[in-house]
Amino acid sequence: MTSRAWWKESVVYQIYPRSFQDSTGSGVGDLNGIRSRLDHLEQLGIDVIWLSPVYDSPNDDNGYDIRAYDKIMKEFGTMKDWEQLLEDIHGRGMRLVMDLVVNHSSDEHAWFAESRSSMDNKYRDYYIWRDGRNGGPPNNWGSVFGGSAWEYDTQTASYYLHLFSRKQPDLNWENEGLRQDIYKMMTRWLDKGVDGFRMDVINFISKAPGLPDGPRQEKDPYGDGSPFFMNGPRIHEHLQEMHENVLRHYDIMTVGEMPGVNEEQAVAYTKEENNELNMVFQFEHMDLDAGPGGKWDLRPCPMPVLRSNLTKWQKALEHEGWNSLYWNNHDQPRVVSRFGNDAAFRKTSAKMLALLLHMMKGTPFIYQGEEIGMTNVQFEEIADYQDIETINMYNEQRRNGVPHEELMHRIYTKGRDNARTPMQWDSSKHAGFTEGTPWLKVNPNYPEINAAEAMEDQDSIFYFYQQLIRLRHEMDIIVYGSFDLLFQDHPEVFCYERRFAGEVLQVYCSFSTDPLHLEVEPVGERLIGNYGEAPGLKSGHLALRPFEAAAYYLKS
């Protein structure tokens, strides 16, 4: 059996601080704002808060470009405010996981200022510098945010690598001094009492020697460098060294964000004897609605495709390693708009998706606003968008002649600002998020969809999440039980069975807008469901209503 651990039994809630709660009227969320909303999280029942970056940053990528790892971003408050926040969180019996962004820093970080200043500076080698090739960049890699992954710097007449924006130069993990400085910085935060790290694109830190050109698609001016920087040659060595130097000395939770990771690699990153990480964020289920052209190449994702992918991950990490479970984060569109129905069945389908995910094996992550069924947003003007990835894509594709309407459709479907519109607290101006002008507009549906409304409604999505979290805390089968798919060829239902120590849990979820029947006699009693009454059951037929979800439990 899988060994027990608190982080396997926990439910995590992600806060994107910029959009959670403003306490000063600046229009930007802040630490004291978060403190003022801890009741909401305690009532929901979550165990751990993961805070997206709150470090000093020029905000080219909303804090994922860090200028000083030991300072708090001025807009968010002071170190004292952060310490108070940590104390408040601990005081309520919850834990705090910080974001760790060490694949790159900001170009305004002191290390980079030193590094770019001369070829023989002590910090030169903290970043990845190369000479140009034939009057252009050193290789053909494109940046994740568009354009070349290389920026020419006149001071030393050479190029530095930036897999993200040009203000996010990649750190050079080949350099021993850099690695030791990172470990010391992590130790300082752990000694302050943080309970773990979510590690930003941590599987990008080891680049293949020689930085070879990547494969290039016909119309793309840039090559895909990912085979040479994702899960690179020294990644396990670096993580084991980090574990040895830092992680093993603390009782913490670690989750590595890992685009492009497959299930065998995930096992290697997370199995206990490898001494690396507790779990990873994989992205396969987030990429199923994208074509070969990447995230903006929109494709429908039929439910069976989603089902077989999630099932594959459940089975692959069943005995070794551990899964994270998530539908949403600050980079993804809202799940109820993506895989549910955010119109007529918003509440029912949001609850169905919640039940489907929270009854699986792994540690569930809830992203702010998911617990009240927040939806994607459609702003008319590109000027209303703030996200660097979205804006770069729009400008680049407009130059390529793609019509405005087509680009807005892509942004409505996949843009990161869908997740970043301010948290909808109540029906007052700007949804109670700020008394000033919000940095990103509030979704206009806030008068109907907000936390105050959810508190009033006993049948709300919020209380459904609360119930799911409570059940996970009470029942070992939800945390540790085995997983097996039921009805694996059905076009419209996602059903599975969990087993643990003689207990059985069966989960039935419909993705259909129409009623349907399953030939099945579920075991035991309905434990939880998203309709007031349990589904109809007559001589071996279970009648599921639109987007119905029900879990049945039997203790032998």
Q: Contact residues for ligand NOJ (CB under 6 A)?
A: 61, 64, 101, 164, 200-201, 257, 330-331
**Complex with ligand NOJ: residue 283 or 500, whichever CB lies closer:** 283
User: How far is 47 from 416, CA to CA, in rounded Å?
Assistant: 26
Pairing state between β 95-100 and 196-199 = parallel
Q: Which residues, 6 or more positions from 267, have their beta carbon under 8 angstroms from its beta carbon?
A: 316, 317, 320, 321
d(C-alpha 193, C-alpha 354), whole Å: 31
In 3D space, the residue among 256, 259, 224 whose CA is nearest the CA of residue 322 turns out to be 256
Residue located via tokens 């130059």: 399
> How near is the Cβ of 548 to ligand NOJ at its closest, in Å?
33
Question: Please, what is the minimum distance in Å from the beta carbon of residue 405 to ligand NOJ?
Answer: 26
In the complex, minimum distance from the CB of residue 556 to ligand NOJ, in angstroms, rounded to a whole number: 44
Q: Which of 61, 99, 241, 257 is catalytic?
A: 257
Minimum CB distance to ligand NOJ smaller for 47 or for 61 = 61
Selecting among 99, 107, 200, 389, the annotated active-site residue is 200
CB closer to ligand NOJ, 153 vs 257? 257
Place of tokens 């199995």: 271
Q: At which residue do the structure tokens 């209303």 appear?
A: 384
Q: Note whether 246 and 197 are within 8 A (CB).
A: no
Cβ distance to ligand NOJ smaller for residue 266 or 388:
388
Cβ atoms < 10 Å from Cβ of 129: 20
Cα distances (Å, whole numbers) of residue 86 to 21, 198, 471, 540: 16, 16, 27, 52
Which residues touch 389 (CB under 8 Å, ≥6 apart)? 144, 145, 146, 416
* Catalytic annotation present for 318: no
> Angle formed by the axes of helices 176-192 and 235-245, to 10°?
40
Instruction: Give the chain's largest Cα–Cα span.
Output: 80
The residue with its CB nearest to ligand NOJ is 64
Report the residue number, 16 or 483, with the smaller CB distance to ligand NOJ: 16
Structure tokens at 285: 């289920």
Report how far residue 76's alpha carbon sits from residue 269's, in angstroms, rounded to the nearest whole number.
Answer: 33
User: To the nearest whole angstrom, how small is the minimum distance from the Cβ of residue 94 to ligand NOJ?
Assistant: 22
CB of 168 to ligand NOJ, least distance (A): 6
End-to-end CA distance of the chain: 19
In the complex, the smallest distance separating the C-beta of residue 283 from ligand NOJ, rounded to whole angstroms, is: 10
Closest CB to ligand NOJ among residues 68, 316: 68
Closest CA to 28 of 422, 317, 419: 422
Q: How far apart are CA 172 and CA 168, in angstroms?
A: 12
Is residue 448 part of the annotated active site? The answer reads no
Cβ closer to ligand NOJ: 164 or 269?
Answer: 164
> What whole-number distance in Å separates Cα of residue 530 and Cα of residue 461?
9
User: What Cα–Cα distance (Å) separates residue 419 from each residue in 8, 11, 192, 412, 496?
Assistant: 26, 20, 30, 11, 29
The structure tokens listed for 99 are 């974001």
Identify which of residues 61 and 453 has a Cβ nearer to ligand NOJ in the complex.
Answer: 61
Active site residues: 200, 257
